[in-house]
Amino acid sequence: DAGVTQSPTHLIKTRGQQVTLRCSPKSGHDTVSWYQQALGQGPQFIFQYYEEEERQRGNFPDRFSGHQFPNYSSELNVNALLLGDSALYLCASSLDDEAFFGQGTRLTVV
Amino acid sequence: GDSVTQMEGPVTLSEEAFLTINCTYTATGYPSLFWYVQYPGEGLQLLLKATKADDKGSNKGFEATYRKETTSFHLEKGSVQVSDSAVYFCALIGDLYNFNKFYFGSGTKLNVKP
């Protein structure tokens, strides 16, 4: 089992651009959550997807959106990128009381 | 709302020293508590967890006890190794029905010197 896989591992974008990050959950996991980890900080909850619907959302603007596909994989989209969006973006998948994190995508906005 | 506060780092220790990283929490209801570890350039790995008061989580020589009376979940290890150098995050889940919504502390960086 490959666990939670995220792509790409690193990404550099310019302010104002749009970005899409991808996550494949651990086999059998039906819930995917996304977190933003700024440098030197703990991860902050962005949103959670279950059954292809956004189930919960943290305190992030509408520029952050997502999608979950029938195979449970997920995408995180960020529009109109700001310098402050530079961070490690973590995906976590879960089933019942088990949760696993991916290695993350390092996004740098210049 | 739910939150976690952990001691600031970095914490620098010599190999075989005793480690304590303090963590306190605020939560409504009965949260589950976790310690995660992050090695350089990597994601988060679950180190240990406790789901109810007085439970002790343990793994790889690390221990933490869920203390409801002091709202604490301090991480301890009796003898650290250089390979334990990493950033440690205390976290909680406030509601088991929203299992994947973690609240994290800001992390404590541990440096262990040979």
The H or E element containing residue A69 is none
B41: distance to nearest CA of chain A, Å? Answer: 8
- Round to the nearest angstrom and report the end-to-end CA distance of chain A: 36
Could you tell me if A102 and A23 are in contact, meaning their C-beta atoms sit under 8 angstroms apart? yes
The predicted structure's pLDDT at residue B19: 97
Which residues are CB-neighbours of A29 under 8 A, at least 6 positions away?
A: A4, A72, A93, A94, A95, A98, A100
Q: What are the φ/ψ torsions at residue A21 (nearest 5 degrees)? A: -110, 150
Residue of B8, B97, B101, B103 to mutate for A, most A C-beta atoms under 10 A:
B101
Show pLDDT as tens, one digit a residue, over chain A (110 residues): 679 999 999 999 999 999 999 999 999 888 999 999 999 899 999 999 999 999 889 999 999 999 999 999 999 999 999 999 999 999 999 877 678 899 999 999 99
Residue A81, SS3? coil
The predicted structure's pLDDT at residue B28: 83
Residue of B nearest to A102 (CA): B43
The predicted structure's pLDDT at residue B5: 96
Low-confidence ranges of chain B (pLDDT < 70): 95-100
B104 touches chain A (CB under 8 A): yes
- Please identify which residue in the block is written with the tokens 């976590």: A92
Using alpha carbons only, give the angle B111, A103, B24 rounded to the nearest 5 degrees: 55
B8 touches chain A (CB under 8 A): no
Amino acid identity, residue B91?
A
Question: What are the DSSP calls for A17-48, one per residue?
Answer: --EEEEEEPPTT--EEEEEEE-TTS--EEEEE
Residue A89 is classified by DSSP as E
Residue B26, CA distances (Å) to A37, B8, B34, B48, B64 in order: 21, 17, 14, 19, 17
The predicted structure's pLDDT at residue B100: 65
Cβ–Cβ below 8 Å for A90 and B98: no
The predicted structure's pLDDT at residue B41: 81
pLDDT digits (tens, 9 = 90+) for A53-80: 998 899 999 999 999 999 999 999 999 9
The Cα B87–Cα B107 span in angstroms is: 6
Which residues on chain A are in Cβ contact (under 8 Å) with B101? 33, 45, 48, 56
Nearest partner of A81 among A9, A11, A8, A5, judged by Cα: A11
The predicted structure's pLDDT at residue B96: 59
